[in-house]
Amino acid sequence: MRKSIYLFIVTFFCSLVATSQAAFSVNSFCIAAPSQDRVDDFVHFITSELAPNGVNTLILRVDFNYAYESRKELRDDNPLSRESVKKIVSACQKNNIEVIPQVNLLGHQSWAEKLNKLLEVYPEFDETPHVKIPEKYEWPNKDGLYCKSYCPLHPQVHEVVFDLIDEIMEVFEAKAFHAGLDEVFYIADPLCPRCKGKDPAQLFAGEVTLLSQHIDKKGGRLWIWGDRLIDGATTGIGMWEGSTNHTEKAVDMIPKSVVICDWHYEKAIPTPAYFALKGFDVVACSWRKPEVAVQQVKMMQGFKQNSTPEMQDHFLGVMHTVWSPAGNFLDKYDDPKQEDGEKGSDLQCFKAMVSAVQKIETDQ
C-alpha cells in the first residue's frame, strides 16, 4: 500500500515536470480558412499534422468566407457553412488546439483589383473614396494604394464590425479574436471629413481600444499584428514590418491585454523584447525562411531565460504564417515536390519552427 502511494506521488510529480517542459505557451499556425470543398482535407491536416507537431493555437483568417446570418450581405461567394466550421472546431477541440478566428479590420479592405466585401456593400465606410481601384493593380502607384481602409470614425461602421466579431466568435466558440490591423497605410486621410488633421496614432489606438473593449466584455481577448506599433524609420525596419505613417505612438495608448503578433520574415528582429517591456504578451511570427523561424524560437527562449519573472510570461511563443490559399498549402504538404524554392518555403519554415521548439523541449 505504501509502495502504491509512493508510486502515485512519483507519477504525479513526473507528470508536473513533463507539463512544465513545454518551451512556450503558444505554438501557433496561421492560415486562411479553407474553401468549402477543402474542409475535410483541412480537418485531416489539423489531426494528422498540426496536433502531432505540437501546435496548440490556430489563427484562421476567415474574413468574409463564412455564411454570416447577422450580415448575410457580407458573405463571399460559396462561403463556409456553419456545419463546416463546426467540423474544424471539433477537430481543434479534440486535439487541444485553441482556434482564433480573424477578420481583418481597419486596413486590408481591398486586395489588388478587388474591393473586399465590407466596402463593396458599404462604400460609405471607405476612408479614401476618391481613390479608385485600378483595372490593373501595380505597386508602387500614384495613389499609394496598397489596401483600402475603412474610416474608424464613421458613425455606423462599428455596428457592422461588431456583428461580424460576435458571430464569428460564437460559431468558432472562440475565447480570442484576431483583428489583423496590419499594414494600415490609409489612416487620417486629409480628404476624410472625419479624420483629416487627426493624429494617426490616436486614430489607430482608438480603433484598437474600441475593438478590445468590445471583446473584453464578452470575456475574450484581442490579438493583432504588431507592425503599426513599431517605429519603422528609427529602427530601419521600414514601412511594412514597421510604421512610417506615424501610428507607432499608439503602442503607449492601447490596452495591455492586447496580444501582439510580431511578424518579421527576413530576420529575427528582437522587437518582441520591446513589446514585453511595454507590458504586452507577444508572439514572434515567421513565414518562408526556415532559418528565421529557428532564430525566432531561439530568441524567444533566450528572452525568457534572461528576463525577470515579470517579463518572462509575456513571451508567449511563436507562430508560423501561411499567405497562400489554404488549399495550395495542403497540396504542397501532400506533395512537397510542388515547393517554390527561390524565395524560401513556407512548408520548410513550418517544419523548421516545430523542430526547433521540439529540440528545446527534448534538451530541457
Binding site for Zn ion (CB under 5 A): 127, 151, 153, 192, 194-195
d(CA 215, CA 222): 7
Between 55 and 157, whose beta carbon lies closer to Zn ion? 157
- Shortest distance, CB of residue 115 to Zn ion, whole angstroms? 17
Between 151 and 269, whose beta carbon lies closer to Zn ion? 151
d(CA 202, CA 249): 8
- Shortest distance, CB of residue 188 to Zn ion, whole angstroms? 7
Between 186 and 303, whose beta carbon lies closer to Zn ion? 186
- Shortest distance, CB of residue 333 to Zn ion, whole angstroms? 42
Beta bridge partners of 105: 180
Extended beta strands in the chain, E state? 26-32, 57-61, 98-105, 110-111, 114-115, 176-180, 221-225, 259-263, 282-286, 315-321
Cis check for the bond before 140: say yes or no (omega within 30 of 0): yes
C-alpha grid cell, residue 160: 457592422
- Shortest distance, CB of residue 106 to Zn ion, whole angstroms? 11
* DSSP 8-state secondary structure symbol assigned to residue 306: T
* Cβ–Cβ under 8 Å, residues 272 and 284: yes
Between 34 and 152, whose beta carbon lies closer to Zn ion? 152
C-alpha grid cell, residue 332: 504542397
Between 32 and 151, whose beta carbon lies closer to Zn ion? 151
* DSSP 8-state secondary structure symbol assigned to residue 325: -
Between 75 and 194, whose beta carbon lies closer to Zn ion? 194
d(CA 38, CA 41): 5
- Shortest distance, CB of residue 178 to Zn ion, whole angstroms? 23
- Shortest distance, CB of residue 197 to Zn ion, whole angstroms? 11
